[in-house]
Structure 1
Amino acid sequence: MSLCLFMVAGEASADMHAASLLKELQKQNPDLKCIGVGGAALKKAGMDVILDSEKLNVVGISDWWDRLTEVIGGYRKVIRYLEKNPPDYAVLLDLPDFNLRVAKKLKKLGVPVIYYISPQVWAWRKYRIHQIKRDVDLMLVVFPFEKDFYAKEGVDVVFVGHPLLETIHPRVNYRPQSEVLGHPRIAILPGSRKSEVRFHGALLSDLIHRIRERYPQAEIKVPIASTLNQSFVEQYISSGVVFETGHSHEVLNWADIAVVASGTATLETALIGTPFLLFYKVSKSSAWIYQNLMKYRSFIGMPNILLQREIIKEFFQKKADPKTLFQEVIKLIEDNKYRGEQAVNLQSCRAKLGDVGANILAAETIQQFINSKTTQGPENLGGDAIATH
């Protein structure tokens, strides 16, 4: 039987995870038709893209405000499409501000909703759990503590492991201290959204200048996310660096240390095992949201959250100034023991995330869900039938 699946993936990382998931689902359903919101990876995997996810990549209040018309227009386009062409099932990835609204509409249309890569309701905006319980039929989570959180709230949940484990392998070699001191290799990851590059550009340009003054022989590489282009990034980040498009993992393996904007890249860097510092800046109008977030948890970086202790230094908003970041860069380069201890601690993150094969398990769980709906009718699956992994 031919199935129509609707998918939404916002950021570049979600687009790649969704594409991998779709390929696994296609193995089980050769006639599967997939339509939705995504980027280049999903399109290449065979999805009919009705809205490019780049139109939804916004950060903070000011960015939402600047692109409000575009975002609302995109949402309305999706809703109109769903009303005219309701799918059999929907799989939504991350992007909660958009996806939870879409889930509400899908629920009204009688479309079963599967959510993959959970909104961080365990950290902030916990009131969203009520909407998730109402509109989401099955939650597939990528962090182990999320399973316990949702199970306690009565949400059908499966922990599938993290899809990054499928594509990221831990580095094997670290250069000796003599080479690091004489010729440091530094990776700088400014973020995957245009708004992040805008906010971080001046900070990073100042930092790069300071690094160049102290370490004239330093090599600095800036990997550019697939959602950006080099000409745009060059407008905000100074010269004196080498830009690499679409090779962030290779750059992180090459680097002795990294300076990383908060986001998926934080976990990617941790899984590779490159010592780093985490930073993030937003507009003043958005800062209060993140300050409110910090009231509910001690850390913003997933490596620190996973291990429940500070293994990497975090510099957010006012603390993210060039001088402070530079002092941490110096410590990471010149203190061999400090850098080595962080590298050892980062290895513990991988062990927390389960086994390789998250997208395979996610696809199997989704297929189990579909089969159950097909054989048992439209009733929701019971928690005991789903939350077993």
Structure 2
Amino acid sequence: MNDQSTQAGSAPQRAILFTAFEPSGDSHASSVIAAIRQQAPDIPVYAWGGPAMEQAGATIIQQTSTDGAMGAGGLSKILEHIRITRDLKTWLRSHPEVAVHVPVDSPAANFPICKATKPAGCRVVHLVAPQLWAWAPWRIGKLRRLTDLVLCLLPFEEPYFLNRNVPAKFIGHPVIAEHIKVLAQDDVTATRHPLPETAGPKIALLPGSRSGEINRHARDMAAVAQRLALTHPQTSAVFAAANEHAATRIESQIESIKSNRDGQAVDFTVTTGSLSSVLRWADLVLVCSGTATLDVACHGVPMVVMYKLNPLSWNLVGRWLLTTRHIALPNIIADRRIVPEIIPYYQSLDRITHEAAQLLDNPDLAEAQLENLTEIVKLFRDSDPGQLAAGHILDQMQRRR
């Protein structure tokens, strides 16, 4: 056991603080917290976070990482972040035992908190590197001032930050590690609804976990499935929802377009419970750009990656901030185009439909994509992100001044 959990004297037991503001952050942090509880069970772990972190062993101070906990967006979200930062500063003054702060992703929300924890003497360990390699590279100076260590989920991130004098360690990706574990054990839980069995193509639809992503993508994904059904009879489509709230939102989005205009019905199902089950069932995946692309890669299913953006926002701001050639994570990791990415798209679904049809109709094209995805997954096979991250965090605790 680490000796910091049994130090002599009357000084308060040193503690660790996590701050997460998205469902993905709650998920990423949970495996790290579970590993800390295993390696150093006497060390208190506090969190502004969500249910997965609480289940892993953290004491939740405020729920901040569930969808909707941070407001609808815009001014509401900004005001909520200001309130949380103020509350955390107050809490921190009465908890001087906090030795390490672990901000999880969400740099816009976490940087203001780091400005409070770093001067208070906390070691700051970023879990999930801010994507400065993709946009806003000028913020590297701010990160350098506000971190003691960046724990990177992607292999190219460690050298990127080290070359810019930011301490960094590659730990692997929790999503890939979990899927490798599940697939190795053949441990796949049931979905909420039975998955349809038809003779036609089976298409999994992953519109994203946030409400805004679902609003942008669910109807369009359903429309693409309908188009494919015109040339691919008996097409089935399953939406894999992150939770019941997301499932309800998806249902409302697709209610009015469940059959295409010539009467050829598409068998739509919306389910929760096991993404692995859905991906094992699927012949093709339409997926919103993000971490879910790595879920698909692990399961070896051909994919088309898509993300809808406002054309004005993209042309005025987005395209000028982006510094990478690719946006989809598999393409970024490979540093070349191995999966089709239609990012951004605005209204037309023609390119998405074309790329999806190509993968359904051309087995050699689909197989080539799968071979490339297999090579990506191999980069992560030997890592245990939770245990590695826990070790680095506990090491930083011993370095606290």
TM-score normalised by the shorter chain: which range applies?
0.7 to 0.9
- Indicate the residue corresponding to 1:101 in structure 2: 112
SS at match of 1:353: coil
- Pairwise CA RMSD of aligned residues? 2.6
- Indicate the residue corresponding to 2:161 in structure 1: 150
Unmatched segments (≥5 aa) in structure 2: 6-12, 185-196, 259-266
Instruction: Tell me the distance in 2 between the aligned counterparts of 1:354 and 1:125.
Output: 30
Instruction: Tell me the distance in 1 between the aligned counterparts of 2:83 and 2:253.
Output: 29
From 27, 36, 49, the counterpart of 2:38: 27
Q: Structure 2-normalised TM-score?
A: 0.83
Summarize deviations over 1:39-65 as a string: whole Å, max 9, x none.
221121122221321367779xx9434
Q: Confirm or deny: 8 A CA contact 2:306 2:345 kept in the other structure.
A: no
Q: Confirm or deny: 8 A CA contact 1:10 1:56 kept in the other structure.
A: no
From 34, 41, 64, the counterpart of 2:74: 64
In structure 2, relative to structure 1, the CA distance for the partners of 1:48 and 1:285 (3 Å cut) is farther
SS at match of 1:127: helix
Instruction: Tell me whether 1:278 sits opposite 2:270 in the alignment.
Output: no
In structure 2, relative to structure 1, the CA distance for the partners of 1:67 and 1:365 (3 Å cut) is closer
Q: Confirm or deny: 8 A CA contact 2:250 2:270 kept in the other structure.
A: no
From 315, 320, 323, the counterpart of 1:292: 320
Instruction: Tell me whether 1:203 sits opposite 2:220 in the alignment.
Output: yes
From 84, 88, 91, the counterpart of 1:78: 88
Instruction: Tell me the distance in 2 between the aligned counterparts of 1:286 and 1:37.
Output: 31
Q: Confirm or deny: 8 A CA contact 1:279 1:320 kept in the other structure.
A: no
- Letter of the aligned partner of 2:385 in structure 1? A
The answer to which of 6-15 and 145-154 deviates more is 6-15
- Indicate the residue corresponding to 1:10 in structure 2: 21
- Indicate the residue corresponding to 2:361 in structure 1: 334
SS at match of 1:123: coil
Instruction: Tell me the distance in 2 between the aligned counterparts of 1:48 and 1:108.
Output: 23
Identity among equivalent positions (%) equals 28
SS at match of 1:291: helix
Instruction: Tell me the distance in 1 between the aligned counterparts of 2:129 and 2:208.
Output: 20
- Letter of the aligned partner of 1:291 in structure 2? R
- The alpha carbon displacement at 1:117 in A equals 1.0
Answer 1 or 2: which has greater helix percent. Answer: 1
The answer to which of 85-94 and 186-195 deviates more is 85-94
Instruction: Tell me the distance in 2 between the aligned counterparts of 1:259 and 1:66.
Output: 31
Instruction: Tell me the distance in 1 between the aligned counterparts of 2:69 and 2:356.
Output: 30
Instruction: Tell me the distance in 2 between the aligned counterparts of 1:58 and 1:285.
Output: 25
- The alpha carbon displacement at 1:318 in A equals 3.1
In structure 2, relative to structure 1, the CA distance for the partners of 1:371 and 1:79 (3 Å cut) is closer
In structure 2, relative to structure 1, the CA distance for the partners of 1:99 and 1:67 (3 Å cut) is closer
Instruction: Tell me the distance in 2 between the aligned counterparts of 1:320 and 1:201.
Output: 13
Q: Confirm or deny: 8 A CA contact 2:23 2:67 kept in the other structure.
A: no
Instruction: Tell me the distance in 2 between the aligned counterparts of 1:211 and 1:346.
Output: 24
SS at match of 2:33: helix
- Letter of the aligned partner of 1:64 in structure 2? G
For these two proteins, the number of residue pairs brought into alignment is 365
Summarize deviations over 1:342-368 as a string: whole Å, max 9, x none.
111110111233623111111112222
From 216, 223, 235, the counterpart of 2:240: 223
- The alpha carbon displacement at 1:66 in A equals 5.5
Q: Structure 1-normalised TM-score?
A: 0.86
